[in-house]
Copies of this chain bind each other. A is one copy, B any other.
Amino acid sequence: MSQTRYEHATTALLLVDPYNDFLSDGGIAWPRLKDVAEEVGLLDNLRAIHAAARAAGIRIFIVPHHQWEPSDYEGWRHINPTQQAIMKRHSFAKGTWGGEFHPDFVPREGDVVVQQHWGQSGFANTDLDMRLKQHGISHVVIIGLLANSCIESTGRFAMELGYHVTLVRDATAAYSHELMHAAHELNGPTYAHAILDTAALLDALPR
């Protein structure tokens, strides 16, 4: 892969599912993520990229998973395995602390919070593609959770839609090392235009 030039006017930071349930001690999914997250330095890397994007004038798009509510999936014919788990665990439940954004990533004026996704891809059944077009975005940098499900599906969809896709190895996490390896060494290289670590991304972003 050649070196990508990220211009502030055409690059977006997609921050996927920055909920307390994923990112905070006490969150429903945090115990399953903790080992990998701490090893890669997830929180610090997310904070560093987030700050660098703001400083560079790169717009931040919050790409949130559907917040669970008791009536969800009522009458659905084909609830997928991840949704089955959410039904049991009530991850990202509306009105709970776990379903709030981590305090470091609460949207500010100028950030775009797109419609919530029901599955894995932030583009599927939401307004993300249109919102990106309305801001003239051609390049997406995708960070947040989980590396092999929502991040990967968002990346695969972005590629199909015609965007330039950047993954960041240590600004995401998954439930095991094997899943991280699959996301960044096995599958990412088939669809992503750039796979960086946080240091290299910070170096490549405009100032």
Contact B77 A134 (CB under 8 A): yes
From known contacts A110-B75, A134-B76, A160-B153, infer whether A191 and B81 are also in contact, taking CB-CB under 8 Å: yes
**Residue interface bits A88-125, CB-to-B below 8 A is 1, else 0:** 00000000000000000000011000011011110011
> How far in angstroms is the closest Cβ of chain B from A29?
13
B residues in contact with A77, CB < 8 Å: 134-136, 138, 164
Please encode chain A, from 184 to 201, with 1 for each CB lying within 8 Å of some chain B CB and 0 for all others. Answer: 001101111100000000
In the assembly, what is the distance between CA of A124 and CA of B78, in Å?
21
* CB–CB A163/B133 < 8 A: yes
Distance in angstroms between the alpha carbons of A149 and B190 in the assembled complex: 7
In the complex, A31→B119 CA distance in Å?
36
Residues 1-29 of A, flagged 1 when their CB comes within 8 A of B and 0 if not, give 10000000000000000000000000000
Q: Are A80 and B191 in contact (CB under 8 A)?
A: yes
Cβ of A169 within 8 Å of any chain B Cβ, yes or no, is no
Given A130-B125, A153-B156, A78-B193 contact (CB < 8 Å): yes
Q: Once bound together, how far apart are the Cα atoms of A179 and B189, in whole Å?
A: 12
Contact B191 A124 (CB under 8 A): no
Neighbouring B residues of A131 by C-beta, 8 Å: 162
Closest to A185 in B: B178
Q: Could you tell me the distance between the alpha carbons of A132 and B131 in the complex, rounded to whole angstroms?
A: 16
9 A-B residue pairs with Cβ-Cβ distance under 8 Å, sorted by A, are A75-B134, A77-B134, A78-B159, A78-B193, A80-B190, A124-B161, A125-B127, A148-B187, A179-B186
Residues of chain A having any CB pair with chain B under 8 Å: 1, 59, 71, 74-78, 80-82, 109-110, 115-116, 118-121, 124-127, 129-136, 138, 148-149, 152-153, 156-157, 159-165, 178-179, 182, 186-187, 189-193
